[in-house]
Structure 1
């Protein structure tokens, strides 16, 4: 009798501890709106809760049937180097997505359907896969891995499903927050960043370039004769030009470069760690791509697109001061206009604003 009471007391204490752990996990995952911090908190908490030495969290994009790795721990660089992958038909992930429930494998080598070479090469022998579902939508998947076969505590797996609900809600809130922040710094028409964000980003990146002695370039573009274009063809057609401009800029620049709609028909591209001669090449590609892109966008309405005049300036080639660099590129753009438009204008060596 006493032994049963002792067992019952131990079981109760174990449940209370598990619930306390769960509350701590819940606090961790809802304490921030930064998406990457949320995902790392989910992973760290879940690994501690399930007592696994490794794991990862991937966000799920339903339309593409694609997963994107965002947080990981205890795994080799080779294993996590693939940041995006599509769902394999018949695999574990597809089963979890279809069922919407926690799935666990206590010994991968004894599971006939599981044949992922990369998982076996990593030495993973047992695994828990947890769908992170909010309002009937799978936000992501949580993988908890161990390198030995093991039996998982069923009680903890049940509590893990409660953690998954908190985690999915936290991901939803963080994603919404990120989208809202992005909207505040994005130009709605072109999809480029806006003037307000340019001022912040320009100062930040120029400061970084000076601090680490890295080159830094800025390109300024302005649509030629845009006022007369709008007067001739109307503002709706003018908007089509600006949308095509945004697309052409995004398609031309590298992922580390950033494009902005500075105002009206004026655009800026910031190129970190880029010297003047490389920036000039980018500017020439932009000039051609804008002409081709706007021609394509207006096909059926007008026989040709628009041209742009471009100024290019660089640190430290032209100046080592932030305000001077902006004034120089602005002046170079004005000179490109003055000298016939549809040109890229730049100068070698140190310059002063106003040239």
Structure 2
């Protein structure tokens, strides 16, 4: 049989004892006593109280003061007030403030037990309904998590839903790269991660300290969910909750939430709900990572790891639509190494392949994250410049041309190979109105340089064929 804890608040010792004797006769109630309002509020703050029974008239603070305080600090906790005939108006006022019921003095044992039992039954139904609603909500959230296969979207879904569920003010989610042996914060709230680069490591160390102060068994291979209070250097109390993120039996990360507004902000139900979501999230992350890796394989070049030709078409379609929608422009750079065949003939195709990989890395570093680098085939590359007019594209192309001219390839492997590159530039909608025409014009401009001066940047001129390309820069 479940036992309920009822707190009886009365300055009169005899009255408290009388209430205890009546309520504990049923066997399902444990009575605790408080002699005043402040003492009662302190006991409620410690937790574990199911119902409060309070006298209305006490020396320092009244039952009305208690009801008013609890309506703010513990709004879910119900109060029954005991009143004499002369203070019935105060009892009605107490009910307006949130008291569940009142009973008159002198207490009738039978009536008192019925009123208290009715309150406990009502509280039980409310709690069960709340738990059912919470369980349904958790089920819906976990279903959403399991359906999400895009890794970036999954970060947001898991973190935001858990943040809402536990009611934290801040926190972060970090994942562990098993291959690299490193952890990275992938999403956060209330933290400047750039200013706290070792935040995940520091918090994990705090977790170890906190675990050592509990009665939980310590095992380095097992990370347990845990909630603690932590006094920071500024003497503010932080409630912290740690929830391990596992895939099968492996630890793949951790979700850490903080509350800087109150001590003991998280309870066992918060911990249980967060762990439930994390259990589902671990499998979801594994599926999303597998999907992400498979997706990357289909859109990237096997050798250089930049985008492949197939995905280049998607990029061009997307950027041309974007430029049209924003009434802006986008540009294409068509790049080809000059005399690269001589490198393969002299050093072999293995060295040639290494140069292509190193070149791809240089090109990615030379442009913005919003731009795209793709391998067109052989030693030909295409760069798609978002929101860039022809004039800006030529500046980027010239910067790349100079960078390649000055770079020494495979220097760390003992080689000293220098190369140059020819680049053709075409822009939409200045030069072309279709994807095929845009690539064709950029290709023609590049070939005009490759089979002419070499080591140049040419800008396409529409409608005039290769003879219409104009040289923009050369050494």
Match of 1:314 among 419, 427, 435: 427
Shift of the alpha carbon at 1:248?
Answer: 1.6
Question: What is the CA–CA distance in structure 2 between the aligned matches of 1:203 and 1:318, rounded to whole Å?
Answer: 16
Aligned to 2:455: 342
Aligned to 1:304: 417
Change (3 A) 1:138 1:328: same
Secondary structure of 1:67's aligned partner: strand
Per-residue CA distance 1:3-50 (angstroms, 9 max, x = gap):
569679667776655544443332121112012322222234323432
Match of 1:102 among 204, 225, 248: 225
Aligned to 2:355: 241
Structure 1 range deviating more: 24-33 or 178-187? 24-33
Question: What is the CA–CA distance in structure 1 between the aligned matches of 2:417 and 2:326, rounded to whole Å?
Answer: 44
In the alignment, structure 1 residue 25 sits paired with structure 2 residue 138: no
Structure 1 range deviating more: 335-344 or 280-289? 280-289
Shift of the alpha carbon at 1:176?
Answer: 2.0
8 Å Cα contact 1:52/1:144 also seen in 2: yes
Shift of the alpha carbon at 1:208?
Answer: 0.4
Shift of the alpha carbon at 1:71?
Answer: 5.8
Shift of the alpha carbon at 1:178?
Answer: 1.1
Alignment of 1:202-213 (within 5 A): 202-213=316-327
- CA root-mean-square deviation: 3.4
8 Å Cα contact 2:422/2:446 also seen in 1: yes
Give the TM-score normalised by structure 1.
0.80
Where do 5+ consecutive residues of structure 1 fail to align? none
Question: What is the CA–CA distance in structure 2 between the aligned matches of 1:209 and 1:21, rounded to whole Å?
Answer: 42
Question: What is the CA–CA distance in structure 1 between the aligned matches of 2:234 and 2:386, rounded to whole Å?
Answer: 39
8 Å Cα contact 2:355/2:410 also seen in 1: no
Aligned to 1:158: 272
Change (3 A) 1:137 1:343: farther
In the alignment, structure 1 residue 57 sits paired with structure 2 residue 173: yes
Alignment of 1:1-355 (within 5 A): 1=26, 3=28, 19-52=135-168, 55-61=171-177, 63=180, 65-70=182-187, 72=189, 75=190, 79=191, 82=194, 85-87=197-199, 91-96=202-207, 100-106=223-229, 108=230, 111=231, 114-115=232-233, 125-135=238-248, 137-146=250-259, 147-293=261-407, 295-297=409-411, 300-301=414-415, 303-347=416-460, 351-352=462-463, 354=465, 355=468
Question: What is the CA–CA distance in structure 1 between the aligned matches of 2:233 and 2:183, rounded to whole Å?
Answer: 19
Shift of the alpha carbon at 1:81?
Answer: 7.0
Secondary structure of 1:101's aligned partner: coil
Aligned length: 336
Structure showing greater Rg = 2
8 Å Cα contact 1:328/1:352 also seen in 2: no
Between 1 and 2, higher relative CO (CA 8 Å, sep ≥ 6) is seen in 1
Where do 5+ consecutive residues of structure 2 fail to align? 1-25, 30-116, 209-219, 469-475
After TM superposition, what 4+ stretches of structure 1 lie above 6 angstroms from structure 2?
4-9, 11-14
Question: What is the CA–CA distance in structure 2 between the aligned matches of 1:353 and 1:141, rounded to whole Å?
Answer: 60
